[in-house]
Structure 1
Amino acid sequence: MADERDSRTAVDGIDTGTPHSARVWNYWLGGKDNFEADRRLGATVEELYPQITEIARASRAFQARAVRYLAGEAGVRQFLDLGTGLPTANATHEVAQSVVPAARVVYVDNDPIVLAHARALLSSRPEGATDYVHADLTDAQTVLREAARTLDLERPVAVMVLSTLGHVADPDEAAALLRSYLDALPAGSWLMLCDTVETPETRAGSDEYASGGAMPYISRPKEIMATFADGLDLVEPGFGSISLWRPDGPVTGEPVDQWGFVAAKR
């Protein structure tokens, strides 16, 4: 019976019957790289918490603005994108290399379907470089060892943790994980982070998401999220809704419940 189930739900080693965050996120972005289980859960959460699709799009827009800032004004040449998800327009390497063609980018994710799309992630301008590490972002030792094939970890690196730290439920463990990356990098490195802040609506959405079989993703109070920048120098406008972080134009509508920051290691 188990073999029969495996043949129905596995595609090239991918469990298509269990929702995965990268594929559900892809569904919310309007992508096609997802399966019925992902779409079913995504639609259920969206019905309960309609802002989730706006959050997904706002997160991608924040990523592009922050990468442009780091590659341009801040002079960053290396990026470590943790929990990158499936390839989309304005991926990190595309944005960074549009500003600095020699930028080097390493993507990290643990979903086999992202691995299957790694070739799209690895496209790069000849002056720069991109690489993909198939690993869990919580295994910082492995990630950093593999990333060192492409990045010079003796020089500043921008660590990107976007809409993923909610998978680490314990706030102390989440803070320790961030520190394990930053402690391995020199002064002048950066942390770019965003996640969903806790409200009654986002908490209900998180509960529904977890009950649907995906790896739980929790929202956090703003006060706890703000501590993830302790010891770092926040870039203006500081910690707040990503809708308000250096927007390209006037902000219409209510700021999204996804908050974040960009901060430098001293």
Structure 2
Amino acid sequence: MAEADFGADGIDTGRPQSARMYDYFLGGKDNYPVDWKAAEQVISFFPAVEKMAKTNRDFMHRAARLLAGRGIRQFLDIGTGIPTEPNLHQIVQAVTPAARVVYADNDPIVLRHAQALLHSTPEGRTAFVRADFRDPGRILAAARETLDLSRPVALSLVALLHLVADEDDPYRIVAELLDALAPGSHLALSHATGDFDPEAWERVVEVYRAGGTAAQVRSRAEFARFFDGLDLVGPGIQLGALWHPEPGGQDDDGARIPLYVGVARKP
């Protein structure tokens, strides 16, 4: 593993970071040579990873728009990543201008760009907290400053849980977050899977783990466990490109991108 090399802003450029690699896959510029090297390794094992990043982003947009259209006015987005427009708050506030959004991420480079996440409509509100998914208590305490947790909230964990290993018990953390939310709240998830090419994804996981990220892809059954006790919104668990697809929004290859997605309601 590369040694840490922190700049004046606290950003470690000595080893790859998942948020910066994702930014690289999306064609962004907030990444460093160490991220390029790791990202190109991932591409060599799974050439469609750039298309997967876009499929994931498109799912987030569709899920946020659907939930806002169903009357959800509050959103808690954990594992925000480097902002790319449109951001989640821009999507939901276009539907309901009074929507409130709290973003949470533990990467200092995301904090550096947090101002881009705070350009709310006058009627709505956005906030950013630097916190780790593994510290749900801190996230919830910060969220309460902006959100009314006695009313429904959409919890967005998009492309996050495949960066959390079983040793950190992500099922318990998701359950703890949901327990704090009111009935009528929703959970939106996307998650990479090795179901269709386990050897390639084993190599991809090794790249992330070598850089210090506890990556772990999961099967469809393992992904479905995150929705235990919730009511899945139709069409249920699907590959990303097949969940409420927009006409002309995906080519045929998109249906083979190994990304499970789903949205569910808390009874």
In the other structure, the counterpart of 2:166 is 170
After superposition, what is the alpha-carbon deviation per residue over 1:32-66, rounded to whole angstroms, capped at 9, x for unaligned?
Answer: 01111111111111111111111111110000000
Code of the residue aligned with 2:7 in structure 1: it is A
Q: Which residue, 221, 226, 229 being the options, matches 1:228?
A: 226
Distance 1:172 1:188 in 2: 27
Q: Which residue, 244, 247, 251 being the options, matches 1:246?
A: 244
Indicate the percent of aligned positions where both proteins have the same amino acid.
Answer: 44
3-state secondary structure, aligned to 2:209 = helix
Structure 1 residue 172 displacement after superposition: 8.3
3-state secondary structure, aligned to 1:15 = coil
* RMSD (Å), alpha carbons: 1.5
* 1:210 aligned onto 2:209: yes
TM-score normalised by the chain length of structure 2: 0.93
Which contiguous aligned blocks of 4+ residues in structure 1 show a shift greater than 6 angstroms?
Answer: none
Contact (CA 8 Å) 1:28, 1:56: kept in 2 or not? Answer: yes
In the comparison of the two structures, how many residue pairs are matched?
259
Which stretch shows the higher mean deviation, 220-229 or 58-67? 220-229
Contact (CA 8 Å) 2:18, 2:208: kept in 1 or not? Answer: no
Code of the residue aligned with 1:96 in structure 2: it is V
Question: Any stretches of 5+ residues in structure 2 without a counterpart?
Answer: none
Distance 1:234 1:90 in 2: 26
> Relative to 1, partners in 2 of residues 1:197 and 1:51: Cα closer, same or farther, differing over 3 Å?
same
TM-score normalised by the chain length of structure 1: 0.94
In the other structure, the counterpart of 1:258 is 259
Structure 2 matches for 1:1-266, cutoff 5 A?
Answer: 9-72=6-69, 74-170=70-166, 173-198=169-194, 199-200=197-198, 201-211=200-210, 213-250=211-248, 251-254=250-253, 255=255, 256-266=257-267
Structure 1 residue 253 displacement after superposition: 2.0
After superposition, what is the alpha-carbon deviation per residue over 1:145-189, rounded to whole angstroms, capped at 9, x for unaligned?
Answer: 001111111110000001111222118811111100000011000
